[in-house]
Amino acid sequence: MCGICGFTGEVLDENENREAVLRRMTDVITHRGPDSSGFYLGDGIAMGFRRLSIIDITESGDQPIYNEDKTLVLTFNGEIYNYRPLREELLAKGHTFRTQTDSEVLVHGFEEWGPGLLNRLRGMFGFAIWNTKEKSLFLARDFFGIKPLHYSMQDGRFLYGSEIKSLLAFPGFRKKFNARALDRYISFEYMPPPETFFEDVFLLPPAHYLVLKDGKIEITRYWEPKFRPEEGMTEEEAVQAIADVFEDSVAAHKISDVEVGCFLSSGVDSSYVSTYFAGQKTFTVGFDYGERYNEIDFAKDLSEKIGLEHHYKVISPEEYWGNIRKVQYHMDQPVADASCIALYFVSKIASEYVKVVLSGEGADELFGGYNIYHEPDDLAAYQKLPLFLRRAAAAVAKALPFSFRGKSFLIRGAQTIEENFIGNCSMFTMEEKRRLLKPGLPCTRPQEVTKPVYDRAQGLDDVTKMQLLDINVWLAGDILLKADRMSMANSLELRVPFLDKEVFAVASRIPRRLRVNRENTKVAMRKAALRRLPPATAQKKKLGFPVPTRVWLREDRYYNIVRQAFESETAAQFFQTKELVALLDEHRAGRRDNNRKIWTIYVFLIWYDIYFNGATHEPGRNPPIA
């Protein structure tokens, strides 16, 4: 795993030179690759690279990597799991290799097949290839968006990087806050790509490639996740297909020249992965607030049963709150998923023992694991009533107090899935946003973001539509962003065997009844896991990395920390601060659980102070972004 960055053209500042600028852009992402660095300074391009050596860990694996006549220059972040058969195919076609790396397959593969290379790959990637003859740049991102790749055009110069930090380090970069992002963020708790919180900085969407030539950018989608359920598939056929393809995927994802470990919670996803790690290491974190917030004992018991060396950490409140700034610095953009910090700590523990870990991300989206996916079944009987009656009941329900039982049911039952589901996470409603945001700031319907996905999902059942929305928006904007940033902050490579295109090929065929039914989620996947796991683990409900923020925000110490932020000058720039304090006080008094909404605003304020007010993210260490 590595980090890449670069820019086209010359540096405008006469006191700077290209090499010094490139080194500065590369240095700020040293955490992504502390083992070595590499640079290419060519006619019209500067390319930087930081390496975390995993495959061919000798110096021969350093980048940039070239084709035979050095007309193609590659820098690459990721892993290609089928590089060996691709290498053999390219050797048979006459290509000459000088390394044993998976990286070199990309440069020769691009020389042979052009963009057609991408659909031949199995892996996670964000890479750049410069064509010295055509003076063109090719950028590509993997199928699900596991690896990030950002870009921006600044005064005719094209900048790109694995993290936005690299772009900000370019001299003369116009750092401007994107107010549209705040509007989206407080709806979703993250910024849905491709826009970012920085004006004119974009995230290349998953399964897309970008070509820059003669100053013009062209972006093309090369793959799209599509569900084609086979209704005649039996449960046994589905379970066997999942078991076979997942075993194959884990085997591919364990390819490495260094030791590979595994994250482990008490849920079925990471537990299923861990059963392929007998004798190796697993890692878990938790909080000292009872079983609801601590999966360590479950993980420890499972590790003992299947012969794993288990490592864990109990995170104290002081440690958690003391690292919020550091985490938001590494995230580049605010993400209000409280598990980010837990993921930071479990990555930190793992990095003390291994360089690579496998994790369970993606299983819920592919196989139907979220509890919200029950809703179409829960509403089915009610939605048989005429629409005009349901609309009338919803209008009455909206006027009722929040505490009225069934209020949400009546409102949602009068809406289509396109109207009521914006993804696995939904924060502030339109009414709340209008009340909270300062006048003049953008305040738009989140359905503007989700509509393009739903438009492509016409004709599918509601559960499948929900899964596709989460794959395209939630997975890329939250789950995989935090997984990449928190692991890379600790120089740890995180691999996700569920997010493999061969696994998706199987998942896309599973009929809806074997994904979600009235009793369970991930129906067929759980039964595949049951072949390797104890029943209690295979059937356990999802917890993830639960964090006791709702408890902390009712304690004086943390209430006061957040209140101070809510009454700050930064908060007053964007929000009606009295509304923020009212939200906090309502939660503290126990009248309503506002912890996720409070956390969403608080995280944004912390992030803004670091990236726009010059606040320190880690006293005594790296300086804040200028």
Compute the distance between CA of residue 9 and CA of residue 340 in angstroms, rounded to an integer: 37
Compute the distance between CA of residue 487 and CA of residue 5 in angstroms, rounded to an integer: 19
C-alpha distance from residue 90 to each of 93, 104, 111, 266, 516 (Å): 5, 11, 10, 43, 43
Compute the distance between CA of residue 397 and CA of residue 218 in angstroms, rounded to an integer: 48
Q: What is the DSSP string of 166-202?
A: HHHTSTT----B-HHHHHHHHHHSS--SSB-SBTTEE
In this structure, the chain runs to a length of 626
Q: Are 55 and 102 in contact (CB under 8 A)?
A: yes
Q: Are 321 and 467 in contact (CB under 8 A)?
A: no
Compute the distance between CA of residue 390 and CA of residue 410 in angstroms, rounded to an integer: 7
Pick from 283, 284, 274: nearest CA to 307: 274
Q: Are 358 and 497 in contact (CB under 8 A)?
A: yes
Q: Which residues are catalytic, by number?
A: 2
Can you state the percent helix, strand and coil of the chain, rounding each to 5? 45, 15, 40
Q: What is the DSSP string of 40-107?
A: EEETTEEEEEEE---SS-SGGG-S-EE-TTS-EEEEEEEEETTHHHHHHHHHHTT---S---SHHHHH
Count the Cβ atoms, other than its own, within 10 Å of residue 600: 24
The contacts of residue 493 (CB under 8 Å, 6+ apart) are 1, 52, 54, 79, 355, 356, 357, 487
Count the Cβ atoms, other than its own, within 10 Å of residue 231: 8
